[in-house]
């Protein structure tokens, strides 16, 4: 299990503890936080465009150029897409070297940087080529959220809230009330204190994503499809928010849950506006059991998640009907 450390990062010496290393970072951070980046830093453009085989091997090539060994360390500074591709590189270079993550977005602090899942997108499918490579340490410094755009904060709000709705009703309702009251600073504090440790606990119980950890994919069945179909023009958080709402309308969630997910989405993004002629196709979804069945994690009631196994054809048709009701 990776160590989750809440720590203020003021310079490179607050997180770099190795003499042989490479830092991979979001290029947007170069001018925002120049004091935290040493000479051996490789800046890349964040976003789904980073999650390609070309970027993956460019990181591997840079590590090779620096003559890094299996005793070296890869430090990753940025959001979820940066940690996805760079962690993948750490896992395949010399069959795996030590890596440490410093997440700088609320989304990565609450979800993406925790748990060792790392992947790239391939053949128009999201996260379908990847490995499990757990970081040794994840440093959480909520001060990085102060320079985030509003849309980036919303992405983090969605993942943090989703986690609580699966396991902790009291926490979820507290987050919901803070969001309704527009108490964003308090909400960020609550999420960065709760989500990293909670997710780490789930991962420790089911590292390979074969049981309880699969619940964390609630909302993601719809979300990943919408993201790939839009060419990743829709943000991950927005896609998950609409996914949580739509999946709650499949008949497995109570009415309170449906209304809370609807209200949650509306507070963040306004009234749902989704084209109604979408042809859902989950044949490439990683949660597919076989060609006929797929496991769908849903929030049954606030604080209680479960996995439902349904026919893929039924799911695709049912979601088309849900679209007509939104």
Written as one string, the DSSP assignment of 296-319 is EEEEEETTEEEEEEEEHHHHHHHH
Beta strands in the chain (DSSP E): 3-6, 21-26, 41-44, 73-78, 98-103, 117-122, 125-132, 137-140, 293-301, 304-311
Contact 92, 64 (CB under 8 A): no
Q: What are phi and psi of 207, to 5 degrees?
A: -60, -40
% of the chain with per-residue pLDDT over 70:
100
| Percentage of the chain lying above the pLDDT 90 cut | 93
Whose CA is closest to 74, among 54, 50, 94? 94
Tell me, what's the pLDDT at 86? Answer: 98
The pLDDT of residue 277 is 84
How crowded is residue 12: how many other Cβ atoms within 10 Å of its Cβ? Answer: 17
pLDDT value at residue 274: 83
Hey, what CATH topology would domain 150-325 get?
Dehydroquinate synthase-like, alpha domain (1.20.1090)
Q: Which of 60, 73, 93 is closest to 16 using CA atoms? A: 73
* Class of 3-147 in CATH: alpha beta
For the stretch 264-310, pLDDT in tens is: 999 999 998 888 789 999 998 989 999 999 999 999 999 999 999 99
Residues of the chain with pLDDT below 50 are: none
What pLDDT, on the 0 to 100 scale, is given for residue 272? 86
What secondary structure letter does DSSP report for 266? Answer: H
Q: Which sequence spans correspond to the domains of the chain?
A: 3-147, 150-325
Instruction: Quick: pLDDT tens for 229-256.
Output: 999 999 999 999 999 999 999 999 999 9
């Amino acid at each position: 299990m990776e160590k989750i450390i809440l720590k203020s990062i003021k310079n490179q010496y607050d997180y770099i503890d190795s003499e042989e290393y490479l830092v991979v970072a979001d290029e947007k951070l170069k001018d925002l936080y120049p004091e935290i980046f040493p000479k051996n830093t490789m800046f890349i453009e964040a976003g789904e465009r980073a999650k390609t085989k070309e970027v993956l091997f460019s990181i591997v090539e840079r590590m090779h150029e620096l003559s890094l060994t299996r005793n070296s360390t890869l430090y990753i500074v940025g959001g979820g897409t940066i940690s996805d591709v760079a962690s993948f590189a750490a896992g395949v270079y010399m069959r795996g070297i030590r890596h440490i993550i410093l997440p700088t977005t609320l989304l990565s602090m609450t979800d993406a940087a925790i748990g060792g899942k790392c992947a790239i997108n391939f053949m128009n499918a999201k996260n379908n080529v990847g490995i499990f490579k757990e970081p040794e340490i994840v440093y959480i410094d909520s001060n990085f959220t102060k320079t985030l755009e509003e849309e980036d904060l919303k992405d983090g709000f969605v993942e943090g809230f989703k986690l609580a709705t699966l396991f902790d009703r009291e926490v979820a309702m507290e987050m919901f009330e803070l969001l309704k009251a527009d108490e964003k600073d308090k909400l960020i504090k609550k999420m960065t204190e709760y989500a990293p440790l909670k997710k780490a606990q789930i991962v420790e119980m089911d590292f390979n994503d074969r049981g309880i950890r699969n619940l964390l994919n609630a909302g993601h069945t719809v979300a990943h499809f919408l993201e790939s179909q839009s060419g990743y023009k829709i943000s991950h958080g927005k896609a998950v928010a609409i996914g949580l709402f739509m999946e709650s309308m499949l008949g497995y969630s109570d009415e309170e849950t449906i209304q809370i997910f609807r209200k949650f989405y509306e507070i963040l993004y306004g009234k749902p506006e989704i084209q109604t002629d979408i042809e859902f196709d989950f044949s490439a979804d990683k949660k597919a059991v076989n060609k006929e069945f797929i496991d769908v994690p849903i929030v049954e009631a606030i604080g209680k998640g479960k996995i439902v196994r349904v026919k893929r054809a039924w799911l695709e048709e049912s979601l088309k009907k849900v679209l007509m009701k939104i």
